[in-house]
Amino acid sequence: MTSETRYRRQRWVIVVGLFFFLAINFADKALIGLAAEPIMRELGLTHTQFGRIAASFFTFFSISALLVGLLANRVKARWLLLAMALTWSLSQVPLLVFATPLTLIVSRVLLGASEGPAYPVAVHALYKWFPDHERTVPSAVLTIGASFGAGLIAPVITAVIVHFGWHAAFAMLAVVGVVWSIAWLWIGKEGALDSHAAQGGRPANPADSLRVHSPVPELPQRIPLAALLLARTCIGSDLSGFAAYVILTMSTIWLPSYLVRVAGYSLTQVGWIVVLPAFGQMVASPLLSWWSQRLMARGVSSRHARGTLGAAAVVVSGVALALMPLLPAGLLLVFAVTIAFSLASFTFVTGVTLAGEIVPPAQRGGVLGINICITTLAGLITPAVMGQVIDHAAVQLDGYRIGMMLAGVFSVVAGIIAAILIDPASDRRRFAARALVAQDACLVPPLARGEQ
């Protein structure tokens, strides 16, 4: 076996490991929504109280994504991933000992703090193995892992809840997290692609040096953080990602309860219905990623092949979400649920690939962490707002419908604005020009600058 073959095989082993890492991560997120009805009954919670407890998951979610993302610039990603998986497994223990609203809050806060950096650090680890032109498809695989965890194992989780109680479901996911950690100790490796690139060396994969790409402006090794965060591509991606996270939060926290209370489905039926959006993501994400990569290969700009396509997915999801309250239980509602909660997540794929275009490798972990910090604020806001809308509506069922419709309209507007803003080529040119100006200023002799 040649070194090239070993390299390519090893990087896909890493992709598989990260796939299951995110699957467990999103299964943890989805569990609270699937167990919402029995939790509210057992603990005597109102919708507002449950919404606040669900939102407590995001108390330190964003700030931990920021801090650990910055730490990823200095610490190996494989060790950060291991630490997160072990921490979120241990965070389930309080509920197994003494289940109260307080212990549920403590468990969710700790779980959120350990899961916040999961996606940006996983992407950062992935990009150490794949150059920019090969990142869209493996990034989509990570998104599929999230879909698998959030939906395809939902029937298993609901079966455990129905037959053994919601406490047993938390225990099951804790054990699964420990098993993944043991496996990661064996297969987890650190890619060297970016460390070589950052030092101006040859790419880690020798084959990449033989490829011919269209000339693009060369990024400086470091760019002021404020300039990166205020770049139109970052702002547009954050807005699109925020809207997608609103949709994701509605799916994991309120969709199961909506289907039970408004549509009249049983919890077991809901467990199977939420499989459809997950399956939709697993089909749509790789297809859209392939289409995006194909468009770029044909010369379509990244602005449209990645940015516009990702924003369009959010818009379509928002339209379907806004239409859901108008549909009775049946095939049309199930179809709307599938579309609403399956397409928007594609913007997470395009968001990280767009960031990879305009952020120097040495700063990528931190910037991805900050972007996740911004977009996941939706997870802190959405459950509490939805709970308030439900409890303050004249009829609770109307509160569910109004909340879903508002989230859909917001997503449509955010997606349209994001499509207008995103323009990575323009940002790269501006960063490259700024670096040249700074370099020329440094080369000007002191006397030429009026210095004595």
pLDDT tens digit sequence for 14-28: 999 999 998 888 888
Q: Residue 219: pLDDT band by 50, 70, 90 thresholds?
A: low
Say if residues 108 and 50 touch (Cβ distance below 8 Å): no
Tokens at 315, concatenated? 């818009």
pLDDT tens digit sequence for 302-359: 899 999 999 999 999 999 999 999 999 899 999 999 999 989 988 988 887 888 788 8
pLDDT for the residue numbered 439: 57
Q: Is 284 exposed, middle or buried (0-12, 13-18, 19+ CB in 10 A)?
A: buried
pLDDT for the residue numbered 452: 44
Length of the chain: 452
How far is CA 385 from its chain centroid?
21
Instruction: Assess whether pLDDT exceeds 70 at residue 78.
Output: yes
Instruction: Assess whether pLDDT exceeds 50 at residue 120.
Output: yes
Instruction: Assess whether pLDDT exceeds 80 at residue 438.
Output: no
- Max Cα separation, the chain? 83
pLDDT for the residue numbered 199: 35
Mean pLDDT, residues 178-198 taken together: 77
Interhelix angle for 118-127 vs 361-375, to 10°? 150
Q: Of the candidates 238, 295, 292, 236, which has an alpha carbon nearest to the alpha carbon of residue 427?
A: 236
Map out the domains of the chain as residue ranges: 3-188+228-444
pLDDT for the residue numbered 123: 83
Q: Write out the DSSP string of 316-332.
A: HHHHHHHHGGGS-TTHH
The count of other CB atoms within 10 Å of the CB of residue 86 is: 17
What's the rounded Cα separation, in Å, for the pair 400 and 405? 9
Say if residues 296 and 302 touch (Cβ distance below 8 Å): yes
* C-alpha dihedral sign at 261, 264, 267, 269: negative
pLDDT for the residue numbered 318: 96
As assigned by CATH, the class of the 3-188+228-444 domain is mainly alpha
Higher pLDDT pick, 201 / 178:
178
What's the rounded Cα separation, in Å, for the pair 284 and 334? 17
pLDDT for the residue numbered 435: 65
pLDDT for the residue numbered 197: 41
First-residue to last-residue Cα distance in the chain: 64
Q: Of the candidates 405, 407, 21, 418, which has an alpha carbon nearest to the alpha carbon of residue 184?
A: 21
